[in-house]
Structure 1
Amino acid sequence: MAFLQANVYSNILEMEVSLNVVLPQKTEKKIGTATQGNFSDVPVLYLLHGMGGNHSVWERRTSIERYVADLGLAVIMPSTDLGWYTDTTYDMKYWTFIADELPEICHELFPQLTRKRAKTFAAGLSMGGYGALKLGLARPENFAAVASLSGAVNLADRPEDLLGLKGKSYWEGIFGPLEQMKGSVNDPMFLLEQLVENKKEVPEIFLCCGEEDPLLYGNKAMAQALSEHTIAYTFETGPGNHDWIFWDQWIQRVLAWLPIESEKEA
């Protein structure tokens, strides 16, 4: 595998943005770490960070590079600050950047990456879990599968969870008036309803959350909504809290779940 650190300019955000990138590379070693490189149509996972993290956190807190070594999978890890993968009311368009501009930047810099929906995935933790699910529900034509680890996926129904983390002025800077969030483009429940109403193809969805995690209630609510709409999904829980011990374990489960092998010839 190759591990790259890049600084790119975002025309949408009008600023430099940092990326960490893992790319398949053919290597031959005698210590059991040989890998096969793939130089065209490479499957890609956009892996999103949570609050307090940045482009480096998945690489520093987990063994993500080692976990994907035998999968032939590229991993894009962007820094998106505390923007909640949203076009904020203070005019920083983090959603437009992550959903539209970033894939084009990555295809320009790494032309071996696939452009096929069947080989394009998103995942993230906490705030990034919200972002990954939002990508799947708002851009279903672009993603075959999305995974949310301990995601804040039920924000609009539980504003008290937000106010326990930061003050109201911060959240309204991101989303606008909190009482207007429900039923908006920043409400995953609303995006799900719109997707069903418009009869669009739904990506495969994976939700997981620790049994001691305060966000478990919201994840159960999202799983219930998916069930009520008869959408196929996977929802799993296990021992753990809102921490890297849980995420390091469960990103391995997510990688095993991703439909990479079945789509190699897609």
Structure 2
Amino acid sequence: MASIQCQFYAETLAMSTSIQVILPQHSSLRESSGGKLPVLYLLHGLGADHAEWLRHSSVERYAEDKGIALIMPSVGRSYYTDMKKGAPYFTYLSEELPAVARSFFPLSERREDNFVAGISMGGYGALKLGLSFPERYAAAASLSGGLDIVSRVNGPNSFLPYEVECIFGNIDGLRGSENDLFALASRLAVSQEQQPHLYQCCGTEDFLYKDNVSFRAHAIDAGLTITYEEEPGEHEWGYWDRKIKRVLDWLPL
């Protein structure tokens, strides 16, 4: 297993940034993917960075066992958006990052070899990527995701006082926008696009539990198929460490 912290200049962001990369030393999956590795883009939560997953979980060991590469970017507190007053992080994540990562490392471009997952804010980002670009990702997984963004910005939340306007602009236009997962789910359900496998979990004691219940109900009503799991658990790494192992077992590798 190779663990690499990679710094490079992101043209989209007009600044240097970092990604944490995990490459399995032995992977039988590489032979079936034309010499390239399947890859899971693993997204961090609010207030964290690219190092969060390795600091708090055993995902490196789990990935080695599966023979899959991990790419872990940093997006600050952007909520995986093209910020109204800030950097275009969603464009960076969806366009530049995969191209740069593939130029540096032996990663497969095939849809069936590309996956995305995340915790909390990163759970939102993972489903946003999967729902926005179903032609690029075979699966997307949210662990304790902050999925109901409209309710979050209009109710109790963990945003700093100035952040909501900087990230989303006028929140009156948030519902139905490209940042509203409920709207993205509805659009995908009626499109002709192949749907990615979707996975969602949340602890029943998590403060985001209601967000997850409401998104699951909406996705199913819209006609999407989603693997949903809930169990006793809070918003913490003991729960996420168990569930990311479950996600890796669930991925259609």
Cα distance in 2 between the residues matched to 1:164 and 1:59 = 26
Q: Which has the higher helix share?
A: 2
Contact 1:36–1:70, Cα closer than 8 Å, also in 2: no
Contact 1:205–1:233, Cα closer than 8 Å, also in 2: yes
Structure 1 stretches of 4+ moved >4 Å: none
Cα distance in 2 between the residues matched to 1:69 and 1:218 = 32
Contact 1:21–1:75, Cα closer than 8 Å, also in 2: yes
Deviation at 1:131, TM superposition (A): 0.3
Deviation at 1:168, TM superposition (A): 4.7
Contact 1:24–1:38, Cα closer than 8 Å, also in 2: no
Cα distance in 2 between the residues matched to 1:38 and 1:155 = 37
Larger radius of gyration: 1
Q: Given the two structures, how large is their TM-score scaled by the length of structure 1? A: 0.90
TM alignment of 1:1-266, pairs within 5 A: 1-26=1-26, 38=30, 40-110=35-105, 112-161=106-155, 163-260=156-253
| Letter of the 1:117 counterpart | R
Q: Deviations over 1:14-61 (max 9, x none)?
A: 1111111000214xxxxxxxx769472210000000012100010010
Deviation at 1:178, TM superposition (A): 1.6
In the alignment of these two chains, the number of paired residues is: 250
Structure 2 vs 1, CA of residues 164 and 176 (structure 1 numbering), >3 Å: closer, same or farther?
A: same
Aligned-partner SS, 1:13: coil
Gaps of 5+ in 2: none
Contact 1:25–1:37, Cα closer than 8 Å, also in 2: no
Cα distance in 2 between the residues matched to 1:83 and 1:90 = 10
Deviates more, 1:168-177 or 1:181-190: 168-177
Deviates more, 1:38-47 or 1:8-17: 38-47
Structure 2 vs 1, CA of residues 164 and 70 (structure 1 numbering), >3 Å: closer, same or farther?
A: closer
Q: Given the two structures, how large is their TM-score scaled by the length of structure 2? A: 0.95
Deviates more, 1:207-216 or 1:230-239: 230-239
Contact 1:210–1:242, Cα closer than 8 Å, also in 2: yes
Contact 1:7–1:16, Cα closer than 8 Å, also in 2: yes
Cα distance in 2 between the residues matched to 1:242 and 1:149 = 9
| Letter of the 1:19 counterpart | I
Cα distance in 2 between the residues matched to 1:9 and 1:152 = 29
